[in-house]
């Protein structure tokens, strides 16, 4: 049973009140990514009393994460914990009333439908467009609201997507940027203050979607903390949008595609093979040649390696 007394300062805020707090306690939220944005969002949601929080992250903690990933400690790094597991430990210590379900897994076309099962909404804590386009495909196809957020340097943006009521992410970005064309935290850095602001705006949108849906953000909100600029850009729904206009969902349906994504903040590339025995080929200076044979379905848990690279394999493969 929820102890409403712990949320007394929150329920005094009229747009939430006791009724909104009860709605928060009944809400089931999915958070994709437990890194910089994800750790801020998760901390807010658990402290605010969201009833159920499902976390998905494929990565393990490193020392350079602590500058911007607010939930974690040096002890977590020393224990070499997966982010989802470490996050769940801290979140349960913050609020034992909240059910926190950690998944050490990648979000890909093989796993995303199961991840979203029985959720009311999804929040973006990721660091790449491939994951966000996949979330958008899922949300629009299934009619699930979601909150987009991104940060680089001292700047960031966020947008709330409610399928059927306004634009989706692909109304703003019809296609993914070409590989290497968009700055990342590896090339442009990132300030923890920008992470905290954008993550807080994302969490605030969750409160509104649950307690007061009409109050939600209907624009693309951009912030630049270094130059102190805040702007709300109106985005109209595009009838020719590949997702919400034409109802095409290639990122959700591309279960036969072979995908590789550079991981922000790591000298690593995640590889997602199709669900069968595959050969992974790597382009050396002499050209393409077989590098590893992965056995299994989705994790490449057993392999024979040829080459100087050092692999690591979480549940969904990398």
CATH superfamily for 4-234 is NAD(P)-binding Rossmann-like Domain (3.40.50.720)
C-alpha R_g of the chain: 20
**Above pLDDT 90, what percent of the chain?**
73
CA gap 186, 173 in Å, rounded: 22
Q: pLDDT at position 272, please?
A: 56
Tell me the catalytic residues: 185
Tokens of residue 184, six digits: 């990342």
CB-CB contact of 94 with 47 (8 Å):
yes
CB-CB contact of 93 with 47 (8 Å):
no
Q: pLDDT at position 261, please?
A: 55
| pLDDT tens column, 86-112 | 999 999 999 999 999 999 998 899 899
Residue 263 has pLDDT above 70, yes or no: no
Q: pLDDT at position 68, please?
A: 97
How many Cα atoms occupy the beta-carbon half-sphere of 283 within 13 Å?
0
| pLDDT tens column, 111-153 | 999 999 999 999 999 999 999 999 999 999 999 999 999 999 9
Tell me the average pLDDT across 237-255.
Answer: 93
Q: Binning pLDDT at 50, 70 and 90, where does residue 304 land?
A: very low
Residue 290 has pLDDT above 60, yes or no: no
- Say what the pTM is: 0.83
Q: Binning pLDDT at 50, 70 and 90, where does residue 178 land?
A: confident
CB-CB contact of 217 with 158 (8 Å):
yes
| pLDDT tens column, 148-175 | 999 999 999 999 999 999 999 999 999 9
Query: Domain segments of the chain: what residues?
Result: 4-234, 273-318
Q: Binning pLDDT at 50, 70 and 90, where does residue 188 land?
A: confident
Residue 273 has pLDDT above 80, yes or no: no
Burial class (CB in 10 A: 0-12, 13-18, 19+), 314: middle
Tell me the average pLDDT across 68-73.
Answer: 97
Placement of tokens 């750790």 in the chain: 39
Pairing of strands 155-161, 99-104: unpaired
Tokens of residue 50, six digits: 């969201």
Residue 262 has pLDDT above 70, yes or no: no
Tell me the average pLDDT across 222-227.
Answer: 98
Q: Which comes out higher in pLDDT, residue 1 or 197?
A: 197
In the chain, what is the straight-line distance between the N-terminal and C-terminal CA atoms, in Å? 40
Q: pLDDT at position 59, please?
A: 95
Tokens of residue 266, six digits: 């790591």
CA gap 224, 222 in Å, rounded: 7
Tell me the average pLDDT across 258-271.
Answer: 53
Q: What residues pair up with 262 in beta bridges, in sequence order?
A: 269
CA gap 21, 266 in Å, rounded: 39
Query: SS3 for the chain, per residue?
Result: CCCHHHHHHHHCCCCCHHHHHHHHHHCEEEEECCCHHHHHHHHHHHHHCCCEEEEEECCECCHHHCCCCCCCCHHHHHCCCEHHHHHHHHHHHHCCCCEEEEEECCCCCCCHHHHHCCCCEEEECCCCHHHHHHHHHHHHHHCCCEEEEEEEECEEEEEEECCCCCCCHHHHCCCCCCCCCCCCHHHHCECHHHHHHHHHHHHHHHHHHHHCHHHCCCEEEEEECCCCEEEEEECCCCCCCCCCCCCCCHHHHCCCCCEEEECCCCCCEEEECCCCCEEEEEEECCEEEEEEEEECCCCCCEEEECCCCCCCCCCCCC
Helix axes 36-48, 192-211, angle to 10 degrees: 40
CB-CB contact of 210 with 167 (8 Å):
no
Q: What residues pair up with 82 in beta bridges, in sequence order?
A: 60
Cβ-Cβ contacts under 8 Å for 278 (sequence gap 6 or more): 258, 293, 294
Tokens of residue 73, six digits: 């400690």
């Amino acid at each position: 049973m929820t102890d409403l007394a712990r949320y007394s300062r929150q329920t005094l805020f009229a747009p939430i009140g006791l009724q909104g707090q009860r709605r928060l306690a009944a809400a089931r939220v999915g958070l994709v990514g437990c890194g910089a944005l994800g750790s801020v969002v998760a901390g807010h949601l658990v402290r605010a009393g969201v009833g159920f929080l499902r976390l998905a992250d494929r990565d393990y903690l490193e020392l350079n994460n602590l500058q911007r990933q607010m939930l974690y400690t040096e002890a977590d790094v020393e224990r070499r914990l997966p982010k989802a597991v470490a996050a769940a430990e801290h979140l349960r210590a913050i609020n034992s009333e909240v059910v926190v379900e950690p998944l050490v897994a990648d979000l890909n076309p093989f796993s995303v439908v199961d991840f979203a099962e029985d959720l009311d909404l999804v929040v973006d804590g990721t660091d790449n467009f491939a994951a966000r386009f996949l979330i958008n495909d899922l949300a629009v196809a299934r009619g699930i609201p979601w909150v987009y957020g991104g940060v680089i340097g001292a700047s960031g943006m966020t947008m709330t997507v409610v399928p059927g009521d306004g634009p989706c992410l692909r109304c703003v970005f019809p296609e993914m940027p070409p590989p290497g064309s968009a700055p990342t935290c590896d090339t442009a850095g990132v300030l923890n203050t920008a992470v905290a602001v954008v993550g807080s705006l994302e969490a605030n949108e969750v409160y509104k979607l649950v307690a007061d849906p009409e109050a939600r953000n209907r624009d693309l909100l951009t912030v630049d903390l270094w130059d102190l600029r805040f702007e709300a850009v109106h985005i109209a729904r595009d009838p020719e949008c590949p997702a919400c206009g034409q109802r095409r969902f290639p990122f959700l349906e591309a279960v036969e595609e072979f995908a590789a994504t550079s991981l922000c903040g790591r000298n690593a590339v995640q590889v997602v093979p199709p669900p069968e025995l595959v050969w992974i080929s790597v382009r050396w200076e002499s050209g393409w040649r077989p590098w590893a044979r992965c056995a299994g379905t989705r994790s490449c848990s057993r392999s024979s390696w040829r080459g100087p690279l050092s692999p690591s394999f979480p549940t969904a493969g990398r």
